[in-house]
Amino acid sequence: MYDAKIVTEVNRGIGLAIAQQIAAAHSHLNLRLYAASRAGSDLGIQPAHEGAQVLYPSLDISSKASIDALAKSIKDEHGRVDVLINNAGINVDAKYSPANAKLTLDVNYRGTLQMCETFLPLMPAHSRITNLSSVGSSLEHYSPAIAARFRDPNMTLADLAELADEYQHAVTTHTEVPTGWGGTGRSYSVSKACVNAFSAILARQRPDVLVNACCPGWVSTDMGRLVGRAPKRVEDGARIPLRLAFDDIGNVSGWYWANASIRSKELGRVMEW
């Protein structure tokens, strides 16, 4: 019987650092780590505890069938997940188009939400979900009406789906500015605002589970290097997600965590977004 079962999407970047640090730092746990990736590659992660086990299932979070298959195999084997770290994400706004905006929302927002919704029934009280968001999730670029809808404490998942559909429609009709979405090239930002919003909604729906979102800072990965020379190493980028997944955070749930500066290597605090 394993004391902790952890699922995360990895294979490069921050996700790989997260998985490596879980395997190294949580050697006291009788750990079963599902280090999932699209390719299902063996990443050679060495757990510090001989009783610990690292598995490499394949997982494409844009595919409900792929998510369901992983959840079913975990349910059949052990029935429980204690920590879910949703790390997978894409940023293709350099090639901004209606198709890429949809792809971005499908992976970052709908795929991550699907992961949460599928795994939550396997997660007992006191388990945790950490969703990787971004400083790009800030609502400051949008009209007050759109920002208010994102911030509505009574927002439902259906309301959020409608808002995301409206954004996608604005991209398709080239009306991002008059409809209050601030301009072109913001599908990554909108997808991460959706991540913060559904983290808050799920936290209300499951008050016995800690569900939080965070920005890892500006980290030197394939994604981080898209916008210049990133100041943080992957190990630094893993710090806030790992804190939200394992450390004492005083039962805080449903919030967005970050540092005041994207260069800071601190452990994050609840921030306005």
Token pair listed for 2: 């394993």
Among 230, 238, 242, 244, binds ligand NDP (CB under 6 A): 230
Check 34, 109, 188, 256 and give the catalytic one.
Answer: 188
* Binding segment (CB under 6 A) for ligand NDP, from list 86-94, 120-128, 154-162, 243-251: 86-94
Using CB under 6 A as the binding rule, whether residue 69 contacts ligand NDP is answered as: no
Query: Please, are residues 32 and 80 in contact by the beta-carbon 8 Å criterion?
Result: no
Secondary element (H or E) of residue 33: strand 31-36
Among 4, 7, 35, 61, binds ligand NDP (CB under 6 A): 61
Among 88, 123, 160, 244, binds ligand NDP (CB under 6 A): 88
CB of 3 to ligand NDP, least distance (A): 26
Using CB under 6 A as the binding rule, whether residue 170 contacts ligand NDP is answered as: no
CB of 56 to ligand NDP, least distance (A): 12
Using CB under 6 A as the binding rule, whether residue 60 contacts ligand NDP is answered as: yes
Using CB under 6 A as the binding rule, whether residue 268 contacts ligand NDP is answered as: no
Q: What is d(CA 183, CA 190) in angstroms, rounded to the nearest whole number?
A: 11
Catalytic annotation present for 188: yes
Sort strands 4-9 and 31-36 into parallel, antiparallel or unpaired.
parallel
Q: What is the CA radius of gyration of the chain?
A: 18
Cα–Cα distance list, 211 to 160, 248, 254, 269 (Å) = 17, 14, 5, 14
Using CB under 6 A as the binding rule, whether residue 132 contacts ligand NDP is answered as: yes
Residue with tokens 């449903």: 254
The residue type of 273 is: W
The alpha carbon of 184 is separated from its chain's Cα centroid by a whole number of angstroms, namely 23
- Closest to ligand NDP by CB, 223 vs 267, is 223
Residue with tokens 């001989």: 50
Using CB under 6 A as the binding rule, whether residue 89 contacts ligand NDP is answered as: yes
- Closest to ligand NDP by CB, 133 vs 180, is 133
Among 7, 31, 45, 59, binds ligand NDP (CB under 6 A): 59
Q: What is d(CA 20, CA 153) in angstroms, rounded to the nearest whole number?
A: 36
Residue with tokens 């510090």: 48
- Closest to ligand NDP by CB, 117 vs 152, is 117
Using CB under 6 A, count the residues that bind ligand NDP. 30
Cα–Cα distance list, 75 to 34, 38, 182, 224 (Å) = 13, 20, 43, 35
Token pair listed for 115: 């992961």
Among 95, 222, 228, 251, binds ligand NDP (CB under 6 A): 222
Using CB under 6 A as the binding rule, whether residue 236 contacts ligand NDP is answered as: no
Provide the Cα torsion 117, 123, 128, 133; round to 10°: -20
Which of positions 2-21 make contact with ligand NDP (CB under 6 A)? 9, 11-15
Residues labelled catalytic = 188
Which residues are near ligand NDP by CB under 6 A? 9, 11-15, 37-39, 59-62, 87-90, 107, 111, 132, 134, 215-216, 218-219, 221-224, 230
